[in-house]
Amino acid sequence: METKLPIFVYGTLLAGWENYENYVQPYKHEAIPAEVKGELFHLPMGYPGILDGDGVVKGVILRFEPQDYETVLAELDELETYYGPHDPRNEYERIEVWAKLADGQEVQRVYAYRYVDAKYVRAEGTPVHDGDWAHFMRGKQPE
């Protein structure tokens, strides 16, 4: 049986973005501001991806009710094109990372989705230097 870790999200699964309504909002959850280590990029397809790195990626830790957890995780794996560890079809790999709560008081293990093709991301993606994809996207929106 897999470990049931909270899930760190940093892009379209955040409140106010397109995938939140279908994949997060239908389930009772808690969203806790947090950050993980990595490099964040905005991809040409319109969503973000993180790579390993020493920067900071801002997002939230999602905690779901135990009765919903397996359903939510399966839906997120499908959304993120994750078929299983090291599957060649994966667009993202679901990995375990340490997340620090935004208040800096607690560090915990979480799942996060890391983009698989680092070469593509570095060549075609736009670095999000402050690690905050939602802030980056709001800056791209016309006034």
Q: Which residues are catalytic?
A: 80
Largest CA distance in the chain: 48
Q: State the residue for tokens 């994750």.
A: 82
Look at residues 9, 54, 47 and name the one whose alpha carbon lies nearest to residue 124.
47
Retrieve residue 132's tokens. Answer: 């905050």
d(CA 26, CA 62) in angstroms, rounded, equals 13
Retrieve residue 64's tokens. Answer: 């779901």
d(CA 49, CA 83) in angstroms, rounded, equals 17
Task: Answer for the pair 131, 55: CB distance below 8 angstroms, yes or no.
Answer: yes
